[in-house]
Chains A and B, each alone.
Chain A
Amino acid sequence: MKTPAILSVLGEDRVGIVAAISNALAEASVNIEDIRQTIISGIFSMTMLVTVDEEKTPFEEVQSRLDTVAQDLGMQITLQREDVFRYMHRI
Chain B
Amino acid sequence: MRFEPDEVVETLTMVMQQSLDIRTVTMGLSLSCCADPDLDVVARNIYDRVTTAAERLVPTAEALEREYGIPIVNKRISVTPIAQLASSVNAYDVSALALALDRAAKEVGVDFIGGFSALVQKGTTDGDVKLMASIPSALASTQRVCASVNVASTRAGINMDAVLTMAEAIKQTAELTAENDSIGAAKLVVFANMVEDNPFMAGAIHGPGEASEVINVGISGPGVVRAVVSSLPDDADLTTVAEAIKTTSFKITRAGELVAGEASRRLGVQMGIVDLSLAPTPAEGDSVAEILEAIGVGMAGGPGSTAALALLNDAVKKGGAMGTSSIGGLSGAFIPVSEDAGMIRAAEQGALTIEKLEAMTAVCSVGLDMIAVPGDTTVETLVGIIADECAIGVVNSKTTASRIIPAVGKSVGDRVSYGGLLGEAPVMPVNQYAGTVFARRGGRLPAPLQSLRN
Give the B-binding residues of A (Cβ under 8 A). 6, 8, 34, 36, 38, 45, 47, 49, 59-60, 63, 78-89, 91
Q: How far is the CA of A87 from the CA of B251 in the complex (A)?
A: 8
Given A8-B8, A47-B8, A60-B66: A88 in contact with B1 (beta carbons within 8 A): no
Additional 7 contacts, C-beta under 8 A, given A6-B3, A81-B68: A8-B9, A80-B67, A80-B68, A81-B67, A87-B254, A89-B11, A91-B322
Query: Can you name 17 A-B pairs with beta carbons within 8 Å?
Result: A8-B8, A8-B12, A45-B5, A47-B1, A47-B8, A59-B66, A59-B67, A60-B63, A81-B68, A84-B69, A84-B255, A84-B258, A85-B7, A86-B2, A88-B251, A88-B255, A89-B251
Selected from B1, B9, B66, B255, the residue in CB contact (under 8 A) with A34 is B1
User: B344: CB under 8 A from chain A?
Assistant: no
The majority secondary structure among interface residues of chain B is helix
Chain A residues near B257 (CB, 8 Å)? Answer: 87
Query: Are B3 and A38 in contact, CB atoms less than 8 angstroms apart?
Result: no
A60-B63, A80-B69, A87-B254 given; A36·B5 CB < 8 A: yes
Judged by a CB distance under 8 angstroms, whether B364 is at the interface is no
User: Are B258 and A49 interface neighbours, CB within 8 A?
Assistant: no
The 6 A-B pairs of least Cβ separation, nearest first, read A80-B69, A87-B254, A87-B258, A88-B251, A89-B7, A34-B1
Complexed CA–CA distance, A89 and B4 (Å)? 10
B64 to chain A, nearest CB (A): 9
Interface string of B2-27 (1 = CB under 8 A from A): 11010111111000000000000000
**Chain B residues within an 8 Å CB radius of A83:** 68, 258
CA distance A17 to B8 in the complex (A): 19
CB distance from B87 to the nearest CB of A (A): 43
Q: Which of A38, A63, A84 sits near B5, CB closer than 8 Å?
A: A38
- Distance of A34 Cα from B4 Cα, bound (Å): 11
Within 8 A of A (CB), among B237-274: 251, 254-255, 257-258
Q: How far is the CB of B373 from chain A (nearest CB, A)?
A: 41
Which B residues form the contact surface with A (CB < 8 A)? Answer: 1-3, 5, 7-12, 63, 66-70, 251, 254-255, 257-258, 322
How many Å from the CB of A46 to the closest CB on chain B?
9
In the complex, what distance in Å separates the CA atom of A78 from the CA atom of B69?
Answer: 8
Complex: A91 Cα to B257 Cα, angstroms: 13
**How far apart are the CA atoms of A34 and B2 in the complex, in Å?**
9
What residues of B have a CB within 8 angstroms of the CB of A81 in the complex?
67-68
A79–B3 Cα distance when bound, in Å, is 14
Most buried by A among B66, B70, B251: B66
A38 to B5 Cα, complex, angstroms: 10
With a cutoff of 8 Å between Cβ atoms, the chain A residues found around residue B2 in the complex are 34, 49, 82, 85-86
* Neighbouring B residues of A85 by C-beta, 8 Å: 2-3, 7-8, 11
- By the criterion CB–CB under 8 Å, are A6 and B8 in contact? yes
Closest residue of chain A to B323, judged by CB?
A87
Asked if residues B12 and A78 are in contact (CB atoms below 8 Å), the reply is yes
A9–B3 alpha-carbon span in the complex (Å): 15
Which of B5, B11, B67 is in CB contact (< 8 Å) with A88?
Answer: B11
A49 and B3 in contact (CB under 8 A), knowing A84-B68, A87-B257? yes
Closest Cβ of chain B to A52, distance in Å, is 10
